[in-house]
Amino acid sequence: MNTPKSRSQFGTFVRFLKKYFHDYGGLPAVIGSPLFITSLAISLVSYQSWIDESWPDLAMSVIPNLLGFSLGTYALLFSLISPRIRLALRTLRNDKGVRYIDEMNATFLHFILVQVICFIWAFLYKQSLFLDISLWVARTMPSNVNLFPVLSTMGGIVGVLLILYSILLVIGASLTVYRIAKIVDPDQS
């Protein structure tokens, strides 16, 4: 059902996602991140993990704990920041003109989104997504090539990358907390 309210909700959802991605730094911030590059490098040399298909179980067991850590840290951090520090974070801007508080919010939202995407990717992988896609392609474009092994391997590569990136983002969350902890309230010094 495509009512004005549902269109409004999707529009608001997309608008907030665009704002988050801008505040985070966009694709260059993701691809240029040392955490992403490290995750990619480890994923590429961990080819056995893509093939043995045990990574979805690892994701299903690890990611909920990481999500709990990320959400808990995010909530605790912003509940403990004094009003003066919060005002300073709203006033100060990074070199791209993004307010510090928006950058920090986007950073934590990024951690959470990557972890949720990882969990959903593992869930879909454990289902029949890649088999269904390969069967659909075989029906619509008959060929002697079986796409399932290719799609399954590509899905495994993405899954392992997402798990590693999710785990390494804990370092990013910790560094964000460390950075905020280094801010000194002038009245307290």
Whether 110 and 176 have beta carbons less than 8 Å apart is answered as no
pLDDT at 1: 52
pLDDT at 131: 74
Alpha-carbon distance of 136 to 134, in angstroms, equals 5
On whether residue 161 sits in a domain, the answer given is yes
On whether residue 10 sits in a domain, the answer given is no
On whether residue 12 sits in a domain, the answer given is no
Q: Give me the domain span that covers residue 144.
A: 20-181
pLDDT at 60: 94
Whether 38 and 155 have beta carbons less than 8 Å apart is answered as no
On whether residue 186 sits in a domain, the answer given is no
On whether residue 15 sits in a domain, the answer given is no
Query: How long is the chain?
Result: 189
For helices 4-24 and 100-126, the axis angle rounded to 10 degrees is 110
| Residue numbers of the chain with a pLDDT score lower than 70 | 1-7, 142-145, 183-189
Distances (CA, A) of 4 to 16, 38, 43, 131: 18, 44, 43, 36
pLDDT at 119: 96
Q: Look at the block and give the residue holding tokens 């995407």.
A: 117
Rounded to whole angstroms, the maximal C-alpha distance in the chain is: 73
pLDDT at 187: 60
Phi/psi for 173 (5° steps) reads -65, -40
Whether 74 and 81 have beta carbons less than 8 Å apart is answered as no
Structural domain count, the chain: 1
Q: What is the 3-state secondary structure (H, E, C) of 86-125?
A: HHHHHHCECCCCCEHHHHHHHHHHHHHHHHHHHHHHHHHH
On whether residue 187 sits in a domain, the answer given is no
pLDDT at 154: 87
Whether 174 and 35 have beta carbons less than 8 Å apart is answered as no
